Structure 1
């Protein structure tokens, strides 16, 4: 009887051991291992975020003496951003069972060598060739970059790297070729077409035709910092430069220094106005950024981020974005730099003078 009990207990322990082993094995299969070194980081923190507009944080990785290693959850191939505290971010792909190795240097933040699966390998190889780091050639022009990215996308229509390259080199540029973008999306595999970024981009392309240069701007209304309504009609007989930004977006906040210069010179101009439109979701962070950056022109926000109604109406896909509306509400230009804004200011002044003479 004792022997039987002993065998039963031993069998029970063995079954528990097998179940535990199986559980550990399954857990291991649902993770990805990431390690690497980024020179210049010292003791800092890396963040991994999702790439869609919800921008959810996936994980945090501590860095010690430039080096780091971590295990993160992974059920399927995931596109993410590897972000540093200084706002620099870089595409990162991982899947269950992957062993990802990252090598970089803060002195050259535009390129991190990331290996460990086809998507990372393909993107690293492409950028090395694009920047001429493998053959010592001079960096290509923007037009050459676009052509190389297009060729890569056409020959890698199943790669997540193609989604990133499409966005970086063909979408987030002044006056993107919408027909070419549509063509490249149509040539992608069914799996990529189901990618959230591609779905959002397809929606953007459909809506963007309504807000191209020359079209009348849609009506909008949002709340200003005092929670009062702010609409197009508040800028009667004025041209408006609409600047879309967010407190959490480094590039759009960098553009504010240029807008401060414009505002300082044009704040008494009765024919021109600036309007900041924030994609923040936190009122406190939005108001703190306005104060920190000394933004004295009108500011508005729905505090709904990328789900803001005005974002959808104007087909805003990237930050920063600016739109110039004439006094009749027609969209005259998009994504102007400082030189472009100043050129339009001369046009606005000339038109104002013509109107003045007509009235006489």
Structure 2
């Protein structure tokens, strides 16, 4: 039992289950899933579909943090990807064709890869601190997206493009399948090959790993490129779901949700240790929290406070030091009889 309580995924899983049960108490049909017109619908499906962008970005963020870095630019990269794809479709001679949608997706993916490569170059080659290097793109990225869209909200009408965020395959939303494919690919690459061990080695001690013969620069650059790719695909999901590119609001604060998901999942911000399964659970907790806010009728102005409180509670429960201090406070103080009195 003690081993189970000490496991880093026990408390996140318990928090997710309690949140789902809390919603079930206030909505009797919350956990029900129905099949309608060959598609699955329900609150659980909505949590997975709406949380898919956060899951994607959190996966990339996990590997970046495991390498002792941080990527604050993922929200801006998502906005740029959506702006590039929607602008291309809008200005295309045939805006409703499958070919136009395919080119738009390719342009967004290339943009994400290039921006991720830029972050990786600044961190691994130039030697700029990750928080500063990615903060530059976080600040300038929205401006770049505004330049692409000319400061306007670009609306598009393309069924193929819209299916990325709102389509279904085999009854499941396409966004869920994309997030699942990315999770499986990341898991296979990092846990079934030596790549995961190399990332952990760089995160634990970059200098020692370099002296041991590892190409720390290449590994660091690779994780930032992967983060940029995940952010670009998330941007495609966000823009296709609303069939529009909003450079100001697309992916706004999603980097904060991704970092929270990574931390809840047990990944160390000091680098090295990471858990993709924990990140997945953390992202689902973040999305379920958002759903819980609407279910309980919590005012929008206190939504962020509510989410912060839940995250703090989960993180404290995960902390072995916090649990030890709590046990010490509960332990009764007994008087000792071996006190010597000097005369």
TM-score normalised by length of structure 2: 0.27
Task: Answer with 1 or 2: which has the greater Rg.
Answer: 1
Structure with the higher strand share, 1 or 2: 1
Structure with the higher helix share, 1 or 2: 2
Relative contact order: is structure 1 or structure 2 higher (C-alpha 8 Å, sep ≥ 6)? 2
